[in-house]
Structure 1
Amino acid sequence: MTSNKLRRQPLYEQIKSLLMRRIAEGEWQANEVLPSEWELAGELAVSQGTVRKALTELVGEGLLYRQQGRGTFVSDIASDWGDCSLVTPGLPDERPDVIACELLGCSRMNAAEEIAQRFGIRRAAPLLRVRQVWRLRGQTVALDDALLPAERFEGLDARWVRECGGVYAALQRRFGVRPRLQTEQMRAVTLSREEAQLLNTSIDVPVLSVLRLSSSIEGEPIEWRQRYCLTEQLAYTVCRA
């Protein structure tokens, strides 16, 4: 971001961007309390009202949360699985095991017409494609292809995704964007040969296809994700708080 752009921003937005960058750089970890509004105002040489407005926007966007009488805290890093998990069929309340991510690649492609319409971008505009596999207790259980508008997330690369442990965490730490599920479709499908090989299964085995469109807090579409899950011995479970 250039200094000219910063000067044109309202002061509270400059403070908001600065706080986002400091969070992204790890100055405050998840669930750690930030300094008080007065302390931040003194450190940054701005009014308490300016700091409060910046913090309020970050709370509204889900990057921070407040606890009455205790202060303002950094939110947990967003998970690519959100409210979903893979658990034993018939045991929806089972505590899910940790699912491990392996990044297969981060590349660029051009947007097909359907995807371009979803994102509100021109046809053939550049997209980022992030492919990941997920393992549960050492076994491959899911394959993801996540598409994001490249111009919106310039600078997102394999290093960021790998270090953060997923796309959503990278978006939150690198860009201050916390994805929110907008729509989700599920159906049984069969896989291509390449997809079956990545999932260590047969092309004849039906899998659960989960097609997701996620948006920013403001409602801007930011991610189109195709997920394939092996559900012969696991159940794809959604737990809403």
Structure 2
Amino acid sequence: MTDRPLRRQPLYSQIKQQLLRRIGDGEWQENDALPSEWDLADELGASQGTVRKALSELVADGLLYRAQGRGTFVAPAPSEWGEGLLLTPGLFNEQPDDLAREFLGISRGNASDDMAAALQLRRAAPLLRVRQLWRWHGIPVAVDEAFLPADEFEGLDARWLRGSSGVYQALQQRFGIRLKVLCEQFRALMLPREESALLGVTGMVAEAPALSLIRVSGSMEGVPLEWRQRYCLTHNWAYTARRA
């Protein structure tokens, strides 16, 4: 967790930050139960009501969840694919296979005008660029570029991203920020050269357009924090939106 000043903060807010730090340090993993409110109160030297308020805020933020009669648990990070699935064309009820993620690297750059506008940043603001490859049974099917405000996520590095299931989990564990999709756009585009090489596209497929997804995700309060572009191969798969 990032070190944030705790002085002058209410006690429940200080406890909230301590719990986030401990989750970020790996003391509790996804779906692990936290100690009871009474045990935490005793450990932290606070009242049970103060601890409950801190936990309730973390539940409201989507970082914890409660199970009736069982306790409070660490919430899993949301899927990097949101409601999207890759299915066989025409088979709407197909059980999707999990996609394997490969972390390709993290670097620094500057926001384009479109990115700066979408993320409500100043022109050419510094960004972190995270690249990921997605495989279906070993076959490359999609490649991502996720851009994050560098000032907001100082300290995010390859170690955190390699040790997580993706950007969303790293941000939730490292910074206590849970992302949700704010908006998406889809277009059919020719693959850029670098993405084409990563996806192993050759021959006739190289001349076919790929599905380009541009997504802006943000905090639970709706503050935009991620601009992502994903290229998906769709000559053998159909991008399908899951519906409840």
Confirm or deny a common fold (TM above 0.5): yes
Tell me what 2:25 maps to: 25
Tell me what 1:212 maps to: 215
Displacement after TM superposition at 1:69 (Å)? 2.0
| Aligned-partner residue type, residue 59 of structure 1 | V
Displacement after TM superposition at 1:100 (Å)? 1.0
Tell me what 1:234 maps to: 237
Q: Please say if residues 78 and 172 of structure 1, whose CA atoms lie closer than 8 Å, have aligned partners that are also in contact.
A: no
1:51 aligns with 2:51: yes
Number of aligned residue pairs: 240
Tell me what 2:41 maps to: 41
Displacement after TM superposition at 1:29 (Å)? 2.2
| Aligned-partner residue type, residue 37 of structure 1 | E
* Cα distance in 2 between the residues matched to 1:2 and 1:17: 9
1:142 aligns with 2:142: yes
Displacement after TM superposition at 1:30 (Å)? 1.7
- Kindly report which structure 2 residues correspond to 1:187-206, keeping only aligned pairs within 5 A, or say none: 187-202=187-202, 203-206=206-209
SS in 2 for 1:7: coil
Tell me what 2:100 maps to: 100
Tell me what 1:164 maps to: 164
* Cα distance in 2 between the residues matched to 1:35 and 1:240: 35
* Cα distance in 2 between the residues matched to 1:28 and 1:79: 19
| Aligned-partner residue type, residue 239 of structure 1 | R
| Aligned-partner residue type, residue 200 of structure 1 | G
Displacement after TM superposition at 1:2 (Å)? 5.6
Taking a change above 3 Å as real, the CA distance of residues 2 and 102 of structure 1, as seen in their structure-2 partners, is closer
Displacement after TM superposition at 1:197 (Å)? 1.0
SS in 1 for 2:6: helix
In the alignment, structure 1 segments of 5+ residues that lack a partner are: none
Q: Please say if residues 99 and 136 of structure 1, whose CA atoms lie closer than 8 Å, have aligned partners that are also in contact.
A: yes
Among all aligned residue pairs of Structure 1 and Structure 2, give the percentage whose two residues are the same amino acid: 60
SS in 2 for 1:164: coil
* Cα distance in 1 between the residues matched to 2:141 and 2:99: 9
SS in 1 for 2:187: strand
1:74 aligns with 2:101: no
* Cα distance in 1 between the residues matched to 2:188 and 2:200: 18
* Cα distance in 1 between the residues matched to 2:30 and 2:100: 19
* Cα distance in 2 between the residues matched to 1:75 and 1:165: 14
* Cα distance in 1 between the residues matched to 2:56 and 2:125: 34
Q: Please say if residues 148 and 224 of structure 1, whose CA atoms lie closer than 8 Å, have aligned partners that are also in contact.
A: yes
SS in 2 for 1:161: helix
Deviates more, 1:80-89 or 1:105-114: 80-89
| Aligned-partner residue type, residue 99 of structure 1 | L
Displacement after TM superposition at 1:212 (Å)? 0.5
Q: What are the superposed Cα offsets for residues 194-233 of structure 1, whole Å, 9 maximum, x if unpaired?
A: 2211111144121111110001111110100000000111
Taking a change above 3 Å as real, the CA distance of residues 21 and 240 of structure 1, as seen in their structure-2 partners, is farther
Displacement after TM superposition at 1:105 (Å)? 1.6
Displacement after TM superposition at 1:95 (Å)? 2.1
Q: Please say if residues 85 and 238 of structure 1, whose CA atoms lie closer than 8 Å, have aligned partners that are also in contact.
A: yes
Q: Please say if residues 184 and 212 of structure 1, whose CA atoms lie closer than 8 Å, have aligned partners that are also in contact.
A: yes
| Aligned-partner residue type, residue 217 of structure 1 | M
Displacement after TM superposition at 1:94 (Å)? 2.2
TM-score (norm 2): 0.93
SS in 1 for 2:151: coil
Displacement after TM superposition at 1:6 (Å)? 1.1
Displacement after TM superposition at 1:116 (Å)? 1.3
Tell me what 2:180 maps to: 180
In the alignment, structure 2 segments of 5+ residues that lack a partner are: none
* Cα distance in 2 between the residues matched to 1:171 and 1:42: 29
